[in-house]
Amino acid sequence: MKIFLLSFMVVSSLFSSNVKKLEAQILSSIAHSLVHKKSVNICIDDRNFKGIGKYAKSLNVVSCGRADIVFTSKDNDINKKCKTHLIFSTSYYLYEHSPMIVGAFFWQKGRPNIIFRQKQLKHLSIALPKNFQKYID
Amino acid sequence: MLDIKIGFGVLMFKKINIVVVAAILFVQAIYAQNIDMLLDTLAQKDDMSMHTKKENAGYLTVFTRQDLDRMKVKSLKELIEKIPFIRYNENSTGLSAPYFEPYQANNPARIRIFINDRELLSPLFGGGFQILGQIDMAYIDHIEIYMGVPSYEISIEPTTIVIKAYTKTGKRENTTMMGISGGSYGTSDTYGYTSKDMKDFSYFIYANHRNLKRKKLYHLGSILSRNKESGDFYAQVTMPTSRFEFQAIKGSMDNFLGSSWNMTPKNSYTDFSYLYAGYSYTSLDKSTKASINYSHLLDDYHDSSNAPLGVSLPYYIPYYNTRVKESEHLLDTQITKKLNFGKFSLLLGLRNRYKKFINDSHTRDGVEVPLNSNYNSEDITSLFSEIDYLLDEHNRLVFSTSAERYFENANIKDKTIYGARLGHIYSTDNFTQKTLLFYGEFRPTPYELLVNDLLQPGLDNLDSEKAYSISTKSIWRYKNTTNSLLLARTVMNKSIYFDLSNFKNAKDEFAFDSVSFKSNYMLNDLDKIEFNFWVMFEDYGKNSTDRYDNKYGGYLTLFKKFGKIDTYNSITYRDGYDNIPPAWNYDLTLNYTYSRHLSFFLKGENLLKDAIKTDYYRVNPLSYQVTTLNNTPVFDRTVWFGLEYEF
C-alpha cells in the first residue's frame, strides 16, 4: 500500500504546478538513489529549500548529526560537523571546490541538473540505479 | 516444536526482509524512472519567467527558455509574427520596423523593447527594435511580450506593445558553451559564453559574431543588399541585490534601397556601434528598485548612387554622394518604491531620461552641409504611481497615473503629457478576466521634431498623439487546455504622418477594433500545440479615401519531442495588407541531442517561400515620378545548420 501511495505520489507530483513539490521529489529521488532505506533522514542547509520536508513524505528532515544525507549550499561548519555523512551539494561552485561531496543538484544551461562524482561514489561503495548512471561525472 | 517455530520465524523474517528489499528497490526504480521527467517538469515550472513576469501588468505572452531553445530563435524578428495585430516589416534601409510605411517616421510609441530592465532605443529615431531586430539572441533567456498598454512597472512612456527580453544569468547557466551555425546565402553565426555561480556573486560573459547574408535583389541595374555583420559582447555580474551590465555591439550593414530617388544604390552602407553600461539595485524584499543606465550609439551612414539622392536648397542642386555621422547618448536613472499595506499596495516612481543627439558631420558630394537647427537634446522627467487594491480573493483593481515633463532645447517648446490606466482583474483557479481602460499621449520623437524644425524653423506645431483604449481578455483553463479571447477598441487622435513636406497631425480620428483568440493545449509536460487567430477592423476616418480596412492573422505551432529529437513546427498567417497577397510562413526546427555535451540543429525559415512581403516606393521630388519595388520578401527562405558544444 505504501509503495502504491509512494508511486502515486511521484506520478501525481508530475502534474503539480508546485515548484517546491517538484524540488522535494527530486531531492527524494536523489536521497533514495544514494541511501537504500524506505525512509531517509535528511538535513537541509540551503534557505532555497526551506520547508521542503513537508512535501516529501519519504524523507525525514532531521538535524545534521542524525541525517543519512546532508543537502547543503554552504561550505561552512555543517560540512565539518557532518563530514562522516553523505553530503550532496545544491551549489555547483561548492561541488567543484569540495571533493568530499558526492554530487550536486543545481541549474545549468537554463535547466535543473544533477551530477554525481564517480570517485566519491566508489569510495562510499554506492551503486546508483541504472537510470541515474548517466548523471555520473 | 520450538525448532519448528524458530525455523518458521526465521523464514518469516527472511520473507519480510525480501519484501522490504523488494519494496525499496521498487521505490528506487520508480524514482529513477521519473527523475528525467521531474527535471524536465521543473525546468518548465520554474522557468526564469516565473520570477520576472508580471501577470497583472498587461496581456502577457511568454516565450520561455525552453521555447526559445526548441525554436532555435535566431533573431527577434521571428517572434513578431507571434504577436497579434501586427506584422513583421523592414524599412528601406533593411532594418526591422513592424510599423514601417514609406516616408513615415519610425514610431517608437507602438513597440518598445527592453533588455532586462533597460530600454533599448535610439534617442533620435526612437525604437530599439531596429537595433535588436536582426542581431543575435543566444544570450537571451526568455522573452515576455506585454500588450494592451502595459503598466508603469513595465514601461513608463506610453506604448501598446512592450517586448522584455531577459538575459541568461550566471546563476542559471553555470557552464561554458560554444555554438556555430551556418545558413543560406553564406550566413555564419558563432557565439560562446562562460558563466558561473560563485560563492557571493555570479557572472555571465558572452560574445557573438554574426555575418548575416540576405538574399540580394536586383533593381534597375543596382544590387539591393540587406547584409549585416556584427560583433556583440555582453557581460553581467549579479549579486543578491545588485547587477552590473556592460554591452558593446559593433557592425556594418548594407543600406538596402539607400536614399536615391529611384532606389538604385551604388555603394550604400552604415557602420554602427552601440555601447552600454548599467547598474541596477533591487532590495531583498523587492520593494525598492533603482537603476542607472548609459548608452551611446554611433551611426556612420554612407550612400552614393548614379541617380540623385536629394537636392540641396535653395537652388535645387542634386547630389549623388552623402555621408551622415550621428552620435546619440542616453542617460536613464530611475527609482521606484513599493509600499504594501495589506490588501493595498502603492508603487511610486521617479525617472529621468536625458537624450543627446549630435550631428557630427553631414556631407553632400564631399561638401559639409550645416544643419539649420540647434535642436539636439531632450530631457524627460517622469513621475508615476500605481495603486493595486485587492478587493477580495478574486477581484483586484489597478489604477496608474503618470506625468512626464519634456524639457526640450533650441526652437522646441517644453511639454507636459499625462497618462492614466485603470485595470480590473478577476481570477479564480480556472478563469481570469482582465479589463483595461487607458488614456495616454504619445510625444513626437526628436527625429520628427527635428525634421519639422529644419523644414519650418521655429514653427513647432506638432502636437502629441492621443490614444484612448478599452480592452478585455478572458482566459479559461480546462485540464490541459488554456483558451483566451481578447477584445479591444483603440481610438487615436492627432496621429502623426509625413506628407512629403513635413510631419503633421491628422485631423481625423482613427479607430481600431481587434479580436484575438488563442488556444494552448499541453500534450504532456513538455509538448504543446498553440493556435491563434486574430482580426482587426480599422477605420481611418470619414475624410480618408480608403476608410475601412480589415487585417487578419494567426499561427499554429507544435512543439514535440521524439526521443533525442526535439521538433518545432510553425505556420503563421497574415492577410489584408494593401496589395500584399495572403502570406503563409512555415518554420521548422529539428534539434538532435547527441550527448550531454553536444547537440545539433537544423532550422528552416519561410520554407514555403510565401511569408509576408512589402511594397516600397520613391517619389522624385522634382518630377513627382514614382518608382516602385513591390512584393519584396522581408523573410528570406533560409536554412540553418549548427551545433552547440558544452565544455
Residues B640 and B71: beta-carbon distance below 8 Å = no
- B378: cell is 531632450
pLDDT at position A20: 86
B chain contacts of residue A22, beta-carbon cutoff 8 Å: 38, 41-42, 45-46
Chain B residues whose C-beta sits inside 8 Å of any chain A C-beta: 20, 23-24, 26-43, 45-46, 48, 50, 65-66, 69, 141, 168, 171-175, 177, 196-199, 525, 596, 646
Question: Predicted confidence band at B2 (pLDDT cuts at 50, 70, 90)?
Answer: very low
Residues of B in contact with A38 (CB under 8 A): 20, 23-24, 27
What pLDDT shows up at residue A2? Answer: 40
Query: Is A119 within 8 Å of chain B by CB?
Result: no
Its sign, for the CA torsion B92, B98, B104, B105, is negative
- Under the banding of pLDDT at 50, 70 and 90, the label for residue B105 is confident
Name the grid cell of A81: 560537523
Bridge partners, residue B273, by sequence: B250, B298
Q: B196 by DSSP, 3-state: which?
A: strand
Q: Residues B238-248: what's their mean pLDDT?
A: 96
Give the per-residue pLDDT at A99: 87
C-alpha cell at A111: 535547466
Give residues with Cβ within 8 angstroms of B337, minimum separation 6. Answer: B287, B288, B347, B348, B349
C-beta separation of A40 from A58 below 8 A: yes
Q: Min CA distance, A132 vs chain B (Å)?
A: 6
pLDDT tens, N- to C-terminus, chain A (137 residues): 343 333 333 333 433 347 888 888 899 899 889 988 888 888 888 888 877 777 877 788 888 788 888 888 877 656 566 766 688 999 998 898 888 899 999 999 999 999 999 998 998 888 888 888 889 98
pLDDT tens-digit map of B258-301: 999 899 999 999 999 999 999 999 999 999 999 999 999 999 99
Over the stretch B517-560, which tens digit does the pLDDT of each residue have? 999 999 988 899 999 999 999 998 888 888 899 999 999 999 99
How many Å apart are CA B206 and CA B170, to the nearest integer?
11
* C-beta neighbour count of B444 within 10 angstroms: 25
| Predicted confidence (pLDDT) at residue B568 exceeds the cutoff of 90 | yes
Alpha-carbon distance of B101 to B86, in angstroms, equals: 13
Quote the ipTM score: 0.85
Looking at beta carbons, which residues of chain A come within 8 Å of B45? 17-19, 22
pLDDT given at position A13: 41
Question: CA-to-CA distance for B473 and B502, rounded, in angstroms?
Answer: 39
pLDDT tens string B35-47? 888 898 888 888 8
Instruction: Based on DSSP, count helices (H) and strands (E) in chain A, helices before strands.
Output: 5, 6
Closest by CA position to B195, among listed B181, B187, B183, B207: B207
Instruction: Supply the range of the domain harboring residue A119.
Output: 2-135
Residues 6+ positions from B178 with CB-CB distance below 8 Å: B190, B191, B192, B644, B645, B647
Query: Using N-to-C axis directions, what is the helix angle for B2-45 and A19-34, rounded to 10°?
Result: 140
Record the cell numbers describing residue B299, joined without a space. 551611426
Strands, sheet with B161-167, edge to edge from the N-terminal-most edge strand = B59-63, B140-147, B161-167, B111-115, B118-119
Report the pLDDT value the prediction gives residue B21, as an integer from 0 to 100. 47
Q: Are B495 and B510 in contact (CB under 8 A)?
A: yes
Closest CB to A132: pick one of B24, B32, B199. B32
Please list every residue in chain A whose beta carbon sits closer than 8 Å to the beta carbon of residue B29: 129
Domain boundaries, chain B: 46-646
Confidence (pLDDT) at B316: 81
pLDDT at B141 over 90: yes
CATH number, domain of A18, equals: 3.40.50.2300
Q: Which amino acid is at B131?
A: I
Q: What is the pLDDT of residue A76?
A: 62
Fold (CATH) for B46-646: Maltoporin; Chain A (2.40.170)
The tally of domains found in chain A comes to 1
The DSSP string of B134-195 is TS--TTEEEEEEEESS--TTT-SS--SEEEEEEE--HHHH-SEEEEEEEEGGGEEEEEEEEE
pLDDT above 70 covers what percent of chain B?
94
